[in-house]
């Protein structure tokens, strides 16, 4: 009997999953997930993120089982070994069609291209779906037929072209059953192993409490956010001590909730300016994915702009370490970096402040900061992270002009006025009043470090270096 194959990657859900619906429409469906631990290392995937994905895969396995879809797990070193697994599974399970949801960074796109060519050679129907995005990359172009390099016109065109179905796609129990997992296991498919035997990193038990896995949880978060907090999103989203944003990024990036569901819920909430501002953020995510699609050089550690290749980045290991550990002596930076280490997540305003501080005041290569974020973020996403870093370092699309440099102390006074966020993550400053907590000049060095840099000096050094470009 012939079967179709749905290859899951960053789309760990059943609801509103284009590839799954397509595979299911063809016939009895088998799910596949290929773990690639060496690739994870090469891509600097954070341990907390990998554990989150493991837990979501467990949830996916059980949701698929209820639909009669076995989830085959295989482990190989890296993407180079993926086509051999796919070939083996195609031959042993008599697969006639393969469906997957496209991923846009260069190495993922190359892997998918190879697999598609293999399928064609084997006479297997193959289709990639643009499920991660609202609009297919390549379809949003300016009047000259070129990709947009600036966000605002891109977002306007997206809004004008967007067609959103009212309801989410679903799959129901199949008419014909796929083979049972126990029967598949006997076929000795290359690399097949139970999910628990994959080389997952050691998990910290607090991760599962802080970041629960599964579609039901993601849907609950989305509904709660769109029922209430979205109304004041525009007003609250920049204040890290307020729960003003959705915190949905880990679930969005693992594909546990679809981007269409996010857009639909925001539209349905009818709460004024808040939802429209939030949808704009979804479009930033969209923008960076389209950039990755059109400009593969950004996948190769290169600046987006071609005239910034000679910025004299500094390689000061000690300063970089102090930044990573949240010991710079600048409270808002330290609080933010400690939030990242403690929770695996950082507020967007703080991502901008810390990224700009590293790449401008310290003049340390933004790629080191990008890598540190990937190594620690539960929501680490190649395109959003790269886009955010290049924006902050003035090397990217739509980047801040090089002379606009956030002063972290001014930002701190503005966005954490009462110092609540700082007090939470830098408890040694807890006793300071609301004014001095942003710039605790008089403390003894053993209580709290003196700032690693004079902000005025750092700013002027950065201006001079960028000006020479
Ligand atoms: C230096 C830097 C690095 C970043 N690295 C990442 C990353 O690795 N992964 C990641 O998902 N986001 C990244 N961002 C974007 C943004 O900070 C996070 O998406 C956001 O903080 C997640 O919190 P939230 O879910 O509460 O967002 P909300 O404010 O609720 O926004 C909803 C969703 O929109 C998307 N989004 C929001 N802002 C942006 C943005 N500026 N760019 C792209 N997508 C956005 C995210 O999917 C987010 O979950 C980075 C930003 C900067 C400045």
| 59 and 158, same domain (yes or no) | no
Domain assignment present for 303: no
Q: Is there an atom of ligand 1 within 6 Å of 380 CB? A: yes
Predicted TM-score of the model (pTM): 0.97
Active site residue 430: no
Domain holding 261, by residue range, is 133-168+216-294
Q: Is 313 helix (H, G, I), strand (E, B) or coil?
A: coil
Least confident piece of the model among 131-135, 249-253, 273-277, 402-406: 402-406
The answer to whether residues 9 and 101 belong to one domain is yes
Query: What is the token pair recorded at 58?
Result: 């467990």
Q: Is residue 372 flagged as an active site residue?
A: no
100-129 pLDDT, tens digit per residue, is: 999 999 999 999 999 999 999 999 999 999
Catalytic residue from among 211, 278, 366, 372: 366
Is residue 18 domain-resident?
yes
Query: Quick one: which atom of ligand 1 is closest to the CA of 237?
Result: 29
Which of these is catalytic: 200, 207, 389, 391?
Answer: 389
- CATH code: domain of residue 431: 1.10.579.10
The number of domains in the chain is 3
- Do residue 16 and residue 162 come from a single domain? no
Atom index in ligand 1 nearest the CA of residue 374 equals: 8
- When pLDDT is averaged across residues 123-143 and rounded to a whole number, the result is 97
Domain holding 246: CATH number? Answer: 1.25.40.80
81 in helix, strand or coil? helix
Same domain, residue pair 124 and 138: no
Whether residues 290 and 148 share a domain: the answer is yes
Q: Give the mutation target among 134, 383, 388, 393 for probing the ligand 1 site: most ligand atoms within 8 A of CB.
A: 388
Phi, psi of 364 (to 5 degrees): -90, 140
What is the CA(412)–ligand 1 centre distance, in A? 20
Q: Residue 442 pLDDT > 70, yes or no?
A: no
Helix (H) or strand (E) holding 108: helix 106-122
Domain shared by 349 and 387, yes or no: yes
Q: Are 364 and 341 within one domain? A: yes
Does 301 reside within a domain? no
Residue nearest to ligand 1 atom 5, measured at CA? 385
How far does the centroid of ligand 1 lie from the alpha carbon of residue 109, in Å? 22
Give the DSSP letter of residue 6. Answer: E
pLDDT at position 1: 58
> What is the CATH number for 29?
3.40.50.620
Q: Please say if 313 is a catalytic residue.
A: yes
Tell me: do 85 and 158 sit in the same domain: no
Question: Which pair of tokens denotes residue 173?
Answer: 């129990």
Instruction: Specify whether 29 is located in the same domain as 87.
Output: yes
Residue-wise pLDDT tens digits, 286-299? 999 999 999 999 99
CB atoms inside a 10 Å sphere around CB 200: 19
252 C-alpha to ligand 1 centroid (Å)? 10
Residue 7 lies in a domain: yes
Q: Do 123 and 148 sit in the same domain of this protein?
A: no
How far is the C-alpha of 346 from the C-alpha of 350, rounded, in Å? 7
Is 284 noted as a catalytic residue in this protein?
yes
């Amino acid at each position: 009997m012939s079967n179709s194959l749905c290859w899951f990657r960053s789309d760990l859900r059943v609801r509103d999953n284009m590839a799954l619906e397509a595979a299911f429409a063809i016939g009895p469906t088998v799910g596949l997930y290929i773990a690639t631990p060496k690739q994870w290392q090469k891509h600097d995937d954070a341990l907390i993120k990998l554990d989150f994905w493991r837990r979501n895969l467990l949830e996916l396995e059980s949701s698929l089982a209820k639909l009669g879809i076995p989830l085959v797990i295989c482990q190989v070193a890296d993407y180079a070994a993926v086509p051999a697994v796919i070939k083996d599974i195609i031959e042993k399970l008599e697969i006639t069609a393969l469906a997957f949801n496209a991923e846009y960074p260069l190495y993922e796109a190359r892997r998918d291209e190879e697999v598609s060519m293999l399928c064609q050679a084997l006479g297997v129907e193959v289709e990639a779906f643009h499920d991660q995005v609202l609009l297919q990359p390549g379809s949003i172009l300016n009047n000259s037929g070129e990709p947009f390099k600036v966000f605002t016109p891109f977002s306007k065109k997206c809004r004008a072209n967007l067609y959103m179905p009212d309801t989410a796609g679903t799959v129901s129990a199949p008419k014909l059953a796929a083979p049972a997992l126990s029967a598949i296991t006997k076929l000795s498919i290359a690399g097949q192993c139970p999910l628990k035997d994959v080389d997952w990193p050691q998990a910290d038990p607090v991760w599962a409490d802080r970041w629960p896995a599964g579609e039901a949880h993601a849907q609950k978060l989305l509904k709660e956010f769109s029922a209430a907090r979205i109304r004041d999103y525009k007003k609250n989203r920049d204040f890290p001590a307020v729960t003003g944003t959705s915190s949905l990024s880990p679930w969005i990036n693992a594909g546990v909730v679809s981007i269409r569901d996010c857009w639909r819920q925001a539209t349905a909430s009818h709460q004024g300016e808040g939802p429209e501002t939030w949808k704009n953020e979804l479009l930033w995510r969209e923008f960076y994915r389209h950039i990755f699609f059109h400009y593969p050089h950004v996948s190769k550690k290169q600046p987006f702009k071609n005239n910034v290749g000679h910025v004299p980045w500094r390689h000061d290991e000690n300063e970089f370490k102090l930044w990573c550990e949240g010991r710079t002596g600048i409270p808002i930076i330290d609080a933010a970096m400690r939030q990242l280490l403690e929770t695996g997540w950082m507020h967007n305003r703080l991502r901008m402040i810390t990224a700009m501080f590293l790449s401008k005041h310290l003049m340390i290569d933004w790629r080191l900061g990008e890598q540190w974020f990937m190594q620690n973020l539960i929501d680490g996403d190649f395109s959003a992270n790269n886009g955010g870093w290049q924006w902050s370092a003035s090397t990217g699309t739509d980047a801040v002009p090089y002379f606009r440099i956030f002063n972290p102390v001014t930002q701190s006074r503005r966005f954490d006025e009462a110092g609540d966020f700082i007090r939470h993550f830098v408890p040694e400053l807890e006793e300071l009043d609301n004014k001095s907590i942003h710039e605790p000049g008089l403390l003894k060095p053993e209580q709290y470090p003196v700032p690693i840099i004079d902000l005025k000096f750092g700013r002027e050094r950065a201006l001079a270096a960028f000006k020479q470009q």
